[in-house]
Amino acid sequence: MTLCNGKENHKKTHPERFGGGDDSRPKSKRRITSFDVAKEAGVSRSTVSAVINKNTKVGISESTTQKVLSAAARLGYIPKLAARSISSHRSYAIGLISCWQSNSYMLTRPLRGMMQYLRQEEYSLTLCDLGSADMTKSAAIAVKYFLEGRIDGLIIILRTNAPEEEVASALDLLRRENMPLVLVNTAVEEPDIDEVNCDNLHAGYIATKHLISCGHRDIAFIYRRQNAENCSLAEEGRYRGYIKALEEAGIEPPEDYVVRLPDQEFDVKQGSDALHYLMNNDGARRRPSAVYTLNDTVALGVIYAAAKAGLHLPEDLAIVGNDDMEGSRLLCPALTSVAQPLQQMGEEAARLLKQRIEGTGPDHPVKLTLPCHLVIRESCGWSGQAEVEREEQS
Amino acid sequence: MTLCNGKENHKKTHPERFGGGDDSRPKSKRRITSFDVAKEAGVSRSTVSAVINKNTKVGISESTTQKVLSAAARLGYIPKLAARSISSHRSYAIGLISCWQSNSYMLTRPLRGMMQYLRQEEYSLTLCDLGSADMTKSAAIAVKYFLEGRIDGLIIILRTNAPEEEVASALDLLRRENMPLVLVNTAVEEPDIDEVNCDNLHAGYIATKHLISCGHRDIAFIYRRQNAENCSLAEEGRYRGYIKALEEAGIEPPEDYVVRLPDQEFDVKQGSDALHYLMNNDGARRRPSAVYTLNDTVALGVIYAAAKAGLHLPEDLAIVGNDDMEGSRLLCPALTSVAQPLQQMGEEAARLLKQRIEGTGPDHPVKLTLPCHLVIRESCGWSGQAEVEREEQS
DNA sequence: CTGTTAGCGCATTCAT
DNA sequence: ATGAATGCGCTAACAG
């Protein structure tokens, strides 16, 4: 009878899979348990458990620790997670919900950071739901996993434009079960939950400041807001940074250079539309000589439209994007863009969640804000160096 | 004392999270167990277990089944996975290894199919390793998860150009533990393992046939092979389809129109290089009027290079890509491409794996080959309709 | 500092 | 067709 394999007709179906490997790694019939390790090391099972779990509450002598560890290694002992789980009430797995589709860099980059961190911490990552239109449904899945004991906590990667009420009701569902939670990219401030964001105000600030450094004064800003009250923190932050940089340079924030896109999926077409709007301005002032867009996809649309309108970049129009999307460096001209530390955000989110799960976190909700930096390429005609370094360090 | 939450200093740190939700969903101190359901339904625990697990081996009367089900629903009974796991030797989770980076469509599209299917089958998905350069390392992680009892089986999404020996040794590691396995995108044929692929021969065939239908006879093919012996099945298949279509049309396969890229990461630059090679051909024959490339990224490079060389697409050069990458429809001209049924491949892989885990699969290894279809856009100048439909149905 | 005892919640024999 | 007993492998509270 083979381990963890209820049906043995595998043996009949794939005889090749059972051929010659048995002598190289002698498979005992029985699973190695903590009992075996205890016997081998000449101690008790609870001592083994304490050593394996690095339990500091009960002091184990160094020599005993080594005895147990070497015995475990000798026997190839791998603790059964289900058994640990049933008595420790932990699954050593965390769940992930992303409001972004599975191919979005807003998911994949943080994901890398999470996996890297969790692997070294002996946690695994279970996908709950990706790119769902209905956050409440996603939350329900996570709740089920939590109640089953599949996951110990949850990271949620939010969209900046997620409907406020939907987020609130989804979070309530999770709070009700007292599930450890960390939010990445918070759209709405939740005072009682750990959050990891990047410094969007600074993003808008360094982007705009760079354009000013390149000699521009007529700088447009393209973003999106749901409505006057309910705008996403991320985009509003970038807007405020844009305003701040202009004001510092003594430029009056030009209201008719600010384009508010309708609230829908980002698309290159939105960028084209925005540029057309800016070009056909009512003539009260010059057309902008530079644009900062809330992301690179929209910037791509601006580039397309500008090329079609016969504008040469960056001479006729300078442009800065946001997010440093893959592919932005391949554009003509290669796009200057504000990079978010997405991988690091994922790692920090995982770290915070682990602390919450294990109760080792601070007594107050943690609000992490990580710095962005500017990736300078060709789309603004910048040729300097010093400025670059200064911005990147900040 | 709250459920599944060892530390209660949460209560101290986030008092808001414990405020008013308690009356809406009365949380009993104790977890609802099968014992409670048995008592409520007036039956025994084993009956509850049999009903919940739809165990057909032991016959339960319809009326008892209903009694149990309604009692379970009334109490909000959610079986503890760890407990089920410890006695059933199943985790109801499957693992995923992808040789592709987390943002690659070769991972994300199948992933959608898997998650959708697994959710309805009450399995969860645990990420083992994504985009690792070292498959043996990935396999070691999966083995650990399997031995811990975190996962019941594994789906591996392979790269077409993964080194043969590395794949073999990684698979040996997995086979040795007798782990249920399904391969997506097999680079090397493994006679004893279930595999899901798309019909790459047909992909090359319909792409080339389409170009012939557009009136082209001088058709180049850009692909990549590691060496003469060890070439990936996927790319070799596309090559064979290309040859087949040419031969059917009475065109002699032109050896100097076949470009073999060096074995490295795909890049637009490779596409540019390939076109330059084709353009500077030794003059023994005309330059090709059409190109089929093994994927859209390389096609993008060809488009760039063609534009720089002053060629107008599709008049001067027609082009068909492969994979129908996101963004290919946004190119100028919008790229005609062979689409793989990646999402469906993921779903089928999950289905096969579940069968293997539960021992309900066929007695022989399953080799699924799913059809590709051509997505016709502007890059070949095609204006017909009938051909499109025909290809898509095949 | 270490060993003994007692569950955890479920699936799975076997009896009935 | 159903119920009672047994064990899965581990952790945690205790006693020594």
> What is the band of B15 on the pLDDT scale with cuts at 50, 70, 90?
very low
CB within 8 Å: A362 and B85 = no
Asked whether B338 and B203 are in contact (CB, 8 A), the reply is: yes
Least confident of A30-34, A115-119, B178-182, B281-285: B281-285
Q: State which nucleotides on strand C lie below 7 Å from a protein beta carbon.
A: 1-5, 7-14
Q: CA angle at residue B194 from B191 to B200, to 5 degrees?
A: 85
Sheet of B373-375: strand order equals: B258-261, B219-224, B290-293, B318-322, B336-339, B373-375
pLDDT at A248 over 50: yes
Residue A189 has what pLDDT?
Answer: 78
> What is the band of A386 on the pLDDT scale with cuts at 50, 70, 90?
very low
Residue A235 has what pLDDT?
Answer: 84
CA B80 to CA B77: how far, in whole Å? 9
> What is the band of A322 on the pLDDT scale with cuts at 50, 70, 90?
very high
- Rounded (10°) angle between helices A200-213 and A386-393: 170
Nearest by CB to residue A7, choosing from B14, B359, B364, is: B359
Distance B320 CA to C11 C1' (A): 56
Q: Sign of torsion, CA B47 B53 B57 B63? A: positive
pLDDT at B54 over 90: no
Buried b (16+ CB within 10 A) or exposed e, B217-242: bbbbbbbbbbeeeebbbbbbbbbebb
> What is the band of B388 on the pLDDT scale with cuts at 50, 70, 90?
very low
pLDDT at A39 over 90: no
* Residue B21: DSSP 8-state: T
> What is the band of A373 on the pLDDT scale with cuts at 50, 70, 90?
very high
Could you please state the CATH topology (level 3) that the domain comprising A32-87 is classified under: 434 Repressor (Amino-terminal Domain) (1.10.260)
Distance B97 CA to D9 C1' (A): 28
Q: Which residues of A touch B363 (CB under 8 A)?
A: 9, 12-13
**Burial category of A368 from C-beta neighbours within 10 Å (exposed 0-12, middle 13-18, buried 19 and up):** middle
Q: Sign of torsion, CA B230 B233 B237 B239? A: negative
| 3-class secondary structure, B385 | coil
pLDDT top residue among A172 and B329: A172
Q: Report which residue is nearest nucleotide C7 when distances run from CA to C1'.
A: A87
User: Percent of chain B at pLDDT above 90?
Assistant: 55
3-state helix, strand, coil in chain A (%, to 5): 45, 15, 40
Question: Is A6's CB less than 7 Å from nucleic acid strand C?
Answer: yes
pLDDT at A136 over 70: yes
* Summary mean pLDDT of chain A: 84
Q: In the beta sheet, which residues pair with residue B181? A: B154
Q: Which residues of B touch A328 (CB under 8 A)?
A: none
Highest mean pLDDT among A3-12, A180-189, A280-289, B140-149: B140-149
Place of tokens 């006879």: B217
DSSP assignments along B299-366, one per residue: HHHHHHHHHHTTPPTTTT-EEEEES--TTGGGSSSPPEEEEP-HHHHHHHHHHHHHHHHHT-S-SS--
Alpha carbon dihedral A345, A346, A352, A354, in 10-degree steps, equals -170
Span B179-185, average pLDDT: 96
Which residue type is seen at B235? E
Q: Where do the domains of chain A lie?
A: 32-87, 88-198+342-370, 200-340+373-393
CATH number of A88-198+342-370: 3.40.50.2300
Q: Report which residue is nearest nucleotide C9 when distances run from CA to C1'.
A: B83
Mutation choice for B interface testing from A103, A141, A151, A267 by most B CBs within 10 A: A103
The CATH number corresponding to A200-340+373-393 among 3.40.50.2300, 3.30.300.90, 3.40.50.300, 3.30.870.10 equals: 3.40.50.2300
Shortest Cα–Cα distance, A205 to chain B (Å): 29
Q: Measuring CA to CA, how many Å separate B366 from each of B172, B187, B235?
A: 19, 16, 21
DSSP E strands in B55-200: the ranges are 93-98, 124-130, 154-157, 181-184, 194-198
Sheet of B93-98: strand order equals: A367-370, A194-198, A181-184, A154-157, A93-98, A124-130, B124-130, B93-98, B154-157, B181-184, B194-198, B367-370
Place of tokens 């095609």: B382
pLDDT digits (tens, 9 = 90+) for B127-168: 999 999 899 999 999 999 999 999 999 999 998 777 888 999
Alpha carbon dihedral B329, B331, B335, B338, in 10-degree steps, equals -60
Which residues have C-beta within 8 Å of that of residue B164, sequence separation ≥ 6? B187, B188, B230
> What is the band of A24 on the pLDDT scale with cuts at 50, 70, 90?
very low
Q: What is the radius of gyration, based on Cα positions, of chain A? A: 27
pLDDT digits (tens, 9 = 90+) for A3-23: 233 333 333 333 344 333 333
Sheet of A373-375: strand order equals: A258-261, A219-224, A290-293, A318-322, A336-339, A373-375
Asked whether A308 and A300 are in contact (CB, 8 A), the reply is: no
Kind of pairing between the strands at A336-339 and A373-375 = antiparallel
Q: Sign of torsion, CA A293 A299 A305 A311? A: positive
pLDDT top residue among B19 and A46: A46
Mutation choice for A interface testing from B5, B52, B194, B342 by most A CBs within 10 A: B5
Number of H helices, E strands in chain B: 14, 12
Residue B209 has what pLDDT?
Answer: 97
CB within 8 Å: B149 and A4 = yes
Residue B55 has what pLDDT?
Answer: 77
Question: Is A87's CB less than 7 Å from nucleic acid strand C?
Answer: yes
Q: How far is CA A140 from the centre of its chain?
A: 21
Q: Measuring CA to CA, how many Å separate B368 from each of A99, A333, B118, B233?
A: 32, 44, 19, 14
Distance A140 CA to D8 C1' (A): 30
Distance A81 CA to D10 C1' (A): 9
| Two tokens, residue A117 | 């961190």
CA B348 to CA B360: how far, in whole Å? 15
CA A276 to CA B130: how far, in whole Å? 42
Residue A371 has what pLDDT?
Answer: 97
Closest by CA to B261, choosing from B289, B239, B287, B245, is B239
In degrees and rounded to multiples of 5, residue A14 shows phi and psi of -125, 70
Q: How far is CA A69 from the centre of its chain?
A: 36
Asked whether B151 and B93 are in contact (CB, 8 A), the reply is: yes
CA B52 to CA B73: how far, in whole Å? 11
> For strand C, which residues in window 43-72 of chain B come within 7 Å by CB?
45-46, 48-50, 52-53, 55, 58
Residue B229 has what pLDDT?
Answer: 52
pLDDT at B40 over 90: no
Distance A132 CA to D13 C1' (A): 44
* Residue A256: DSSP 8-state: G
In degrees and rounded to multiples of 5, residue B279 shows phi and psi of -70, -40
Closest by CA to A207, choosing from A299, A320, A323, is A320
Residue B26 has what pLDDT?
Answer: 42
In degrees and rounded to multiples of 5, residue B90 shows phi and psi of -135, 145
Shortest Cα–Cα distance, A263 to chain B (Å): 21
pLDDT digits (tens, 9 = 90+) for B260-298: 887 666 677 777 778 777 777 555 567 899 999 999 988
Asked whether A232 and A225 are in contact (CB, 8 A), the reply is: yes
pLDDT digits (tens, 9 = 90+) for B55-103: 777 777 888 888 899 999 999 999 999 999 999 999 999 999 999 999 9
Span A282-297, average pLDDT: 83
| Two tokens, residue A178 | 């007292």
Which residues have C-beta within 8 Å of that of residue A349, sequence separation ≥ 6? A110, A113, A114, A155, A182, A183, A184, A194, A196
Q: Which residues of B touch A78 (CB under 8 A)?
A: 144, 147-148
Instruction: Note if the bond before A314 is cis, omega within 30 degrees.
Output: yes
Q: CA angle at residue A89 from A84 to A95, to 5 degrees?
A: 100
Which residues have C-beta within 8 Å of that of residue B167, sequence separation ≥ 6? B135, B158, B187, B188
Instruction: Note if the bond before B314 is cis, omega within 30 degrees.
Output: yes
pLDDT at B21 over 80: no
Which residue type is seen at B241? G
Alpha carbon dihedral B172, B176, B182, B184, in 10-degree steps, equals -20
Q: In the beta sheet, which residues pair with residue A290? A: A219, A318
Residue A389 has what pLDDT?
Answer: 37
Q: Measuring CA to CA, how many Å separate B297 from each of A50, B293, B302, B328, B337?
A: 53, 9, 9, 9, 11
Nearest by CB to residue A86, choosing from B6, B18, B83, is: B83
CA B136 to CA B154: how far, in whole Å? 14
Residue B236 has what pLDDT?
Answer: 86
3-state helix, strand, coil in chain B (%, to 5): 45, 15, 40
Is B200-340+373-393 in the same CATH topology as B88-198+342-370?
yes
Least confident of A10-19, A295-304, B212-221, B334-343: A10-19
Shortest Cα–Cα distance, A169 to chain B (Å): 12
Nearest by CB to residue B124, choosing from A18, A126, A147, is: A126
Q: What is the radius of gyration, based on Cα positions, of chain B? A: 27
Q: Which residues of A touch B112 (CB under 8 A)?
A: 102, 130-131
Residue A29 has what pLDDT?
Answer: 56
CA A354 to CA A377: how far, in whole Å? 38
Mutation choice for A interface testing from B18, B22, B29, B86 by most A CBs within 10 A: B86
Helix (H) or strand (E) holding B292: strand B290-293
> What is the band of B227 on the pLDDT scale with cuts at 50, 70, 90?
low
Span B336-352, average pLDDT: 97
